[in-house]
Amino acid sequence: MADYKVIMRDGIWDNNVVMAQMLALCPLLAVTSTATNGLGMGLATLAVLLASNVVVSLLRNIISNEVRIPVFILLIATIVTLVDLGMNAWMHDLHKVLGLFIPLIVTNCAILARAESFASREAVAPAAFDALMMGLGFTLVLVVLGGVREIIGSGTLFANAALLLGNGFSFLDMTLLDNYRGFLLMVLPSGGFLALGFLLAGKSWLDHRKADRAAAEATAARIAAINAMDEDDAEGEGETPPEDGGKA
């Protein structure tokens, strides 16, 4: 029985495609010049990841270990091509915006990684859920990175959102800094590396702070326990009760 809570935490934070696994950096840096592009790429990847995880999970019992990698690649490439053709035919405006990115999904090693390390070992439902969560985590990183680069690089946020999401979402298109001359470095791929570095540092800092806080709480609990024991039993040795140690 798969633990959906763990899958969710893994996908969005603990084992995030970009921030923990450090995968998919090539499409990531290429498309995150704006938040809208990041969102589009994220959603397209999510769709492909979902389809590939489900198919791989369905076929997991007939795929032999020796040829699994070429089979996975074949499946992913087929799905990406189908999505590309379908979008070009029926969602042409979206395809004009995302068309460039869709073939990039084939090179997204995160999809192969999920097929290999999760979908090929789990039942369909957890595999699909894993794809949703991993895709969501990836999309979040893309949007945050794209947003940061867009604000610093060109002073706008979600520029051309209406092209991607339809006119109903044109309110997202914001110009935050009027008459901003732009900061070219952030628009170029090198700016992507910089922003990604800060993002990773930020996650690391949050994780460390959380760990430190947990450790501090444990220490405090321990000290409190010792003090309580000292008060209860003035002659006691002040030894830590074993259950507190376990909690820490």
Partner 1 sequence: MMSDIKQPIKEKLAYHPILLGGIALIAGALLVFADAGTRDAIAERQAEDLRASLTQVVRADIHDNNLLKDTIVLHAPLEFADHEAGITFYRARMKGEVVAAAFKVVGMGYSGAIDIMMCVNRDGSIMGVRVISHAETPGLGDKIEAAKSDWINRFSGLSLANRNKQQWAVKKDGGEFDQFSGATITPRAVVRAVHKGLEYFNEHREEILRGKPVHHGGHEVHEGKAVSLSDFAAAQNAANQGARSDVWQRQMNEEQRRVAAFGAQPVKGVRNG
Give the footprint of partner 1 on this chain (CB under 8 A). Answer: 33-34, 59, 61-64, 66-67, 70-71, 74-75, 77-78, 81-82, 85-86, 88-90, 92, 96, 100, 153-154, 182, 184, 187-188
Q: Please list the helix, strand and coil fractions of the chain in percent, rounded to the nearest 5, in that order.
A: 75, 0, 25
Evaluate whether 36 touches 161 at the Cβ level (below 8 Å).
yes
Residue 225 Cβ vs partner 1, minimum distance, rounded to whole Å: 48
Cβ contact 133:12 at 8 Å: yes
Give the nearest distance from C-beta 208 to partner 1 in angstroms. 35
Identify which of residues 188 and 194 has a Cβ nearer to partner 1 in the complex: 188
Residues 24, 18: contact at Cβ < 8 Å? yes
Min CB(60)–partner 1 separation in Å: 10
CB of 189 to partner 1, least distance (A): 10
Identity of the residue, 15 or 32, whose beta carbon is nearer to partner 1 in the bound complex: 32
Is residue 141 within 8 Å of 18, Cβ to Cβ? Answer: yes
Looking at beta carbons only, is 71 or 113 nearer to partner 1?
71
Distance of CA 127 to the CA centre of its chain: 16
Q: What is the DSSP string of 96-112?
A: HHHTTTHHHHHT-HHHH
Comparison of 75 and 134: residue with beta carbon closer to partner 1: 75
* Closest to 23 measured CA to CA, from 146, 111, 136: 111
* Minimum separation from the CB atom of position 122 to partner 1 (A): 13
Specify the residue, 169 or 183, whose C-beta has the smaller distance to partner 1.
183
